[in-house]
Amino acid sequence: MAEQCEIKDGTGGTTRVGVNSDNSLKVGDTVQYYKQRMTYDDNNYPEYIGLAEPGSETSSAVWQIKILTHDASGNTTAVDFASGTAAFDKVWDDRASYTYS
């Protein structure tokens, strides 16, 4: 795993969570694969990133959508979620219409 952390659960225990090099999410011993969509701004920096279950349509409300903010050098300075939530309930085709926080 490239990045990982531990999350405390409701019982006081922890679960190890990580992102594999193939962008799959590893939670404990389970690996979850997502399809990914990206758009780029005028400077060719990643702007929107969307994740959904494989086979999902871009017109379905099953996406988690993030927007990336960059400084003048192209460094990512912020990552915000559509409607301020990481829920998988957004429509990728409507990504520009959401408020991000």
Q: What is the pLDDT of residues 23-82, one digit of tens each?
A: 666 666 655 678 999 999 999 999 999 999 999 999 999 999 999 999 999 999 999 999
Q: Using 50, 70 and 90 to split pLDDT, how confident is the model at 1?
A: very low
Judge contact between 17 and 5, C-beta under 8 A: yes
Sign of the C-alpha dihedral, residues 55, 57, 60, 61? positive
pLDDT of residue 33: 78
pLDDT of residue 15: 62
Short-list 94, 98, 99, CA closest to 59: 94
72-87 burial code (b ≥16 CB/10 A, e <16): eeeeeeeeebbeeeee
The residue ranges of every structural domain in the chain are 3-32, 35-97
pTM of the model: 0.70
